[in-house]
Amino acid sequence: MVLIPVISKLNGKRVVLASASPRRLEILTNIGLQFEVVPSWFKETLDKTLFKAPYEYAVETAKQKALEVAQRMPLKHLKTPDIVIGADTVVTVDGVILEKPIDKQDAYQMLSRLSGKEHSVFTGVAILLCNEREGELTVDFYEETKVKFAELSEEMLWEYINSGEPMDKAGGYGIQALGGMLVEYVHGDFLNVVGFPLNHFCKQLSAIYIKPSESPTHKIKGEDSAVSAASRTSEQDMVGPSYTKSNNEGLPHNIVDLLDGFKASKTLFTACRLKVFDVLRASEGLRVKVAAERIGASVTGTERLLDAAVSLGLLHKLGQGENTEHASQFLVTDSPLSLHGYILHCNNVVWPLFTHLESAVREGTNQQERAFGKKTGYLFQDGYFKKDEVEMQFLNAMHSTAKVTGRAVATAFDLSGFKTACDVGGCTGAMAYEFIIAHPGLSVIVFDLPTVIEMRSHFLPGEQNDSVSFVAGDFFKDDLPKADLYILARILHDCSDEKVDELLSKLSKACTTGCAVLLAETVLDEAKTRASRAYMQSLNMLVQTEGRERSSAQYKQLLESHGFSRMRVCHTGNFLDAILAYKQ
């Protein structure tokens, strides 16, 4: 089967992988497919008892993942995909689907059940074609691979479990890594066990996009009616959005989306600054005139702002205004997961800096002096912020993003082996509280500058917990509190390379063998196939600080140079990814 003609048919299309799995990302990247990653928000709560066979459950879950992303992207990302790929992998033994283990004991039960037995790995895949003349067309299929485990001793079981690898894997093992030592044989597609049946996927693409005269493969085993219909559709009908037809004549929607992107951002910023979502939350369906009076704006301006917010999916009921579920959850100021503080920070700090992006690119330096009239290093040093509204606004921004991303970071890895943690530069403690909720046996010390610690009372949760404590100090100048685990969330990316080396050297000296560091940062994908947000964040660091974002390979090299090994990366699909590495 020739892959290049298949892949070339997708050139110019917006292809989206609705999965945060680094394994699927790597498999598709390796064949030269150009795509972006938008992890699905679909909650995998389908009732397994309603499906006659495990593969039916996997296929339906894959469909729902793809549909959720296809429906969300035009509203939330201001992009309309051409193709969305959803996938779900399940491990079954004795007819029972094994999920990801919830803790070490659960992993032990799963692996014990697989010991000495043959089991099946099913991956369901859905290819959602979003720009067909008749609407959306879904092509779905599944692949089954048989895997046989060797008889596993108690020692081998626990050695593997304690490596931490089983905790984010269906069935409790990863065949492409340490889990491969447990496997006696594989019958079928190896990559299907890793997480994506590449061969079957390419055959399906061939059936959709290559006419019979172009491909020696006319019939595909297990081809369903949707694929058959797709293969009979002419190539012109399947090309994608209108601007790629007729020799690329027409409107280039992807470019227009980018041209209008700043307008959408400023619409969100303005609505938040005027507290539109608070006003509408208090009185849903409010008339425009009354809404204008409450936000202190003109009727004409308010009406157009509300109309624009409706078009962006932030409000319902054009002309009246009613918060959407996400607006109520993330944009109302006093919502537990409100991003209001971060949005104001983007408007007041990030927006002015990005107006000097061209200068930043030409010079390779941050634009603090051009935007604000003075240079700065770390934000709370050198007197850059005073104890006033600006400082509180920054703390609000950090607090709101920590609340939203904290749980994803805290649950990225099994941390049950750690008893004490130090959240270095932990700001308001929002991240620390998420860690103790996720790991009840853990106690966390928040270590940050005295200026920050003094203001923590404004952000403490209603029900405080003795498992979180606060210590004032400068992590570059003062000794770090003793701990088994050191958490650094959005710290390294703010620092120059010299400061990063200085801080990691300090951490390395503070750690004993078996201690670990957990970094929460935006991890760049070297193949540049993940969602563009990571690369926008990389530009943000260029205009704002002396720091930078890094790829997983760069973090690995950096951590190993300071004595940390066994690095693991979890792409959370949230603001921050998570990296865990142990002191040698």
pLDDT at 463: 61
Quick: pLDDT tens for 509-548: 999 999 999 999 998 875 554 456 778 888 888 888 888 8
Say yes or no: domain 406-583 is CATH 3.40.50.150.
yes
Calpha distance 292→298 (Å, rounded)? 6
- Is the confidence at residue 171, as pLDDT, over 70? yes
Report whether pLDDT(444) > 90: yes
**For a pLDDT cut of 90, what percent of the chain falls above it?**
39
Q: Residue 72: how many CB atoms within 10 A of its CB?
A: 18
pTM of the predicted protein model: 0.55
Domain boundaries, the chain: 3-244, 253-335, 406-583
Residue 378 has pLDDT above 60, yes or no: no
**Diameter over CA atoms, the chain:** 75
pLDDT at position 191 over 90: yes
CATH no. for 3-244? 3.90.950.10
Percentage of residues in the chain having pLDDT higher than 70: 83
341: CB partners within 8 A, 6+ apart: 393, 395, 396, 397, 398, 399, 400
At residue 242, the pLDDT reads: 31
With b for 16 or more beta-carbon neighbours within 10 A and e for fewer, the 216-250 pattern comes to: eeeebeebeebbeebbebeeeebbbbebbeeeeee
Question: Which of 34-48, 200-214, 501-515 holds the top average pLDDT?
Answer: 501-515
Predicted pLDDT at 219: 38
Q: Which CATH number fits domain 253-335: 3.30.360.10, 1.10.10.10, 3.40.50.10490, 1.10.1660.10?
A: 1.10.10.10
Rounded to the nearest angstrom, the gap between the alpha carbon of residue 407 and the centroid of all alpha carbons in its chain is 12
Domains 3-244 and 253-335 share a fold: no
Q: How high does pLDDT run on average in the chain?
A: 82
pLDDT given for residue 11 in this prediction: 78
- pLDDT at site 32: 83
Name the residues annotated as catalytic.
88
φ/ψ of residue 371, rounded to 5: -80, -40
Each residue of 37-75: pLDDT tens digit? 999 988 877 888 888 889 999 999 999 999 999 888 887
